[in-house]
Structure 1
């Protein structure tokens, strides 16, 4: 159970849309309830959906940071599916145009190999084995499910490691575009960080930890560098407080 809960560090800190927060809360509740009741088959289904949500948020970030490469990766898709993927307003809408196993192909845009993509996607095949009436129970005990969760969390950490350049690209772009207090959407830097960075990019605690250590000296040449510094300090104080080793939920 403890390792499963670690996945929360890789899921968004908060959501602009209440129904998305409710959905994740529902999945966590379903996982905990079934795990504690020893209904491991159903607990695995809930955890799988949490895992796929993490993947969806990562793909969303890739699309925002690297739209041209994202579009090129859709070669072979139907035109309406390409448009749907580029225009969708939520990571959960990707599946209107994609099968679960297809979404992993976009992880090649962050340097993942075909072998790694196959490792990430293998859990979809396993899920398919238990999501249909087969007459047998795949996860019979806690040890079997815990082993599956350990494997899934290893791949979550692997994906997150590959995502770090994308996270920093998004953060750098945000700091520059929002540095002008008079031009950005929110004058209050905390509101600007929360709405137009954390919410807009579906940032997790793990993502924010990467941003915390961003070397803003890289942006000293920017005309509004002082505003960049204000935003960066706001992110650190809002999401880390005095303890900069742990993001504040």
Structure 2
């Protein structure tokens, strides 16, 4: 097993609003584990990336719930139908309709600057490279993949540290 990979669960919700959300996250984790067990690290990375994006969506969901006025202001640039859909969202996974690199821009609402968002967006680019039939196997060893997971978790921890204020605000309110 990839040492430390389970740490992603520390950043995901303890409980979910629906069984569907819980089952989806469980499915991704199981896909990650199965691919690691069979040395299919590239596919394990895809599942892990989807867990990370789930974390991002839950993070943005907190912003939407705790700071709805700021969130609505962040809709500048979205067409009115997309804005309406995002404002009426009843699940964090609604954010999946937004391009992943674009959805990361919502993290500006928790003081992530453009440089950090650009760094986070590189994960999306890496995922895109691994998800296409391009003849490349990007992770050839467990140790190589383990390093990638550590790098991804550093990014997740950084995003979470930016979220600390809004999380405290949510509990306070």
Q: TM-score, normalised by structure 2?
A: 0.96
Alignment-derived partner of residue 10 in structure 1? 11
Larger radius of gyration: 1
Stretches (4+) displaced over 4 A: none
SS of 2:125's partner is helix
Alignment-derived partner of residue 120 in structure 1? 120
Alignment-derived partner of residue 245 in structure 1? none
Unpaired runs of 5+ residues, structure 1, are: 174-249
SS of 2:81's partner is helix
Partners of 1:20 and 1:95 in 2: how far apart? 13
Q: Say if 2:39 and 2:142, in contact at 8 Å, map to a contact too.
A: yes
User: Which has more helix, going by share of residues?
Assistant: 2
Alignment-derived partner of residue 155 in structure 1? 155
Alignment-derived partner of residue 183 in structure 1? none
Q: Greater relative contact order (Cα 8 A, min sep 6): structure 1 or 2? A: 2
Partners of 1:15 and 1:5 in 2: how far apart? 18
1:16: how far off? 2.7
1:12-161 aligned within 5 A: 12-96=13-97, 98-161=98-161
Q: TM-score, normalised by structure 1?
A: 0.67
| Count of aligned positions | 172
1:48-98 CA-to-partner distances (Å, cap 9, x unmatched) read 0000000000000011111111111121110001111111100001122x1
Q: Let me know the Cα RMSD of the aligned residues.
A: 0.9
Partners of 1:16 and 1:102 in 2: how far apart? 25
SS of 1:2's partner is coil
Unpaired runs of 5+ residues, structure 2, are: none
